[in-house]
Amino acid sequence: MNYQWYPGHMTKAKRMMQENIKLIDLIIELVDARIPLSSRNPDIDGLGAGKSRIVLLNKSDLADPAQNKLWKGWFEGQGAHVLEVDSRSGAGIRAISPLVQEACREKIERDRKRGIVNRPVRAMVVGIPNVGKSTFINSFAGKACAKTGNKPGVTKGKQWICLNKNLELLDTPGILWPKFEDDEVGMRLAFIGSINDEIIIMEELACDLLRVLKDLYPDAVTDRYGVTWQEEPAEMLGEIARSRGCIRKGEVLDLKRAADILADDFRSGRLGRITLERVP
């Protein structure tokens, strides 16, 4: 199946991002911990050159804890400051403020040498659609006050949320467009539900997912549905349909319904904590 997908508004989003990046010191980049590479656009490295960088492994509650550790180390090796977070529950969020200070130490030091003290760090949240940007901003900013940008140096109309005396957050996140370098990237985005299911043939998606799970987490599927692995993914989907009673009139297996169940179970974590990408 061809998972290519590129909504037109992404070009506009990129322009907005280029404008906003000029205003900030720090980029807080959200990636999906289940697919840390496929859920980011490496162009952010160029766009954000010269800015401090924090990478948040969001939805870490759905990802494999051992893999979260490995990915944290990998991103740190790339020069980023990294945290595992669960924006929905708020786990990990409290550790961000101290990390901001650490990530921006050079800027703070530069300011101090110029006699500027207590100028808050300005940050922007970026990430691909559905990675959790809004959930994160709500969780991180909580009841913090939003103030309109009417002071010098702040473009008119921009809203800044002051989190504390050291940190201001742009209230609108930057939307990154996924990068479809290869079909695998599109496929993984479809697995986590970041591609409109309406353009996807669910039975094919399910077979692709089964192929990957057989390789990486074989027990997750057999334990959940009480089935044994079959040679072909389509046969396995049939087993799941049988085990879940997805049977239409005339004893025909309803593979579409079985595929929906599998996708839903994976996306909501009912198959367990699963990471689909390994560190390079």
Residues contributing to the site for ligand G4P (CB under 6 A): 58-59, 61-62, 86-88, 127, 129-135
* Residue closer to ligand G4P (CB basis): 174 or 186: 174
* Residue closer to ligand G4P (CB basis): 220 or 227: 220
16 token code pair:
């907005």
* Nearest distance from C-beta of residue 269 to ligand G4P, angstroms: 7
* Nearest distance from C-beta of residue 195 to ligand G4P, angstroms: 13
Which residue is nearest to ligand G4P, using beta carbons? Answer: 132
CA–CA separation, 103 and 171 (whole Å): 20
* Residues facing residue 53 across a β-bridge: 27
* Nearest distance from C-beta of residue 98 to ligand G4P, angstroms: 20
* Nearest distance from C-beta of residue 207 to ligand G4P, angstroms: 24
* Residue closer to ligand G4P (CB basis): 18 or 134: 134
* Residue closer to ligand G4P (CB basis): 106 or 197: 197
* Nearest distance from C-beta of residue 178 to ligand G4P, angstroms: 12
| C-beta neighbour count of 242 within 10 angstroms | 14
CA–CA separation, 136 and 88 (whole Å): 7
User: Exposure pattern of 183-209 as b/e (b: 16+ CB <10 Å)?
Assistant: ebbbbbbbbbebbeeeebebbbbbbbb
* Residue closer to ligand G4P (CB basis): 39 or 239: 39
Sign, Cα dihedral of 107, 157, 149, 142: negative
CA distances from 94 to 19, 90, 124, 169 (A): 29, 8, 17, 15
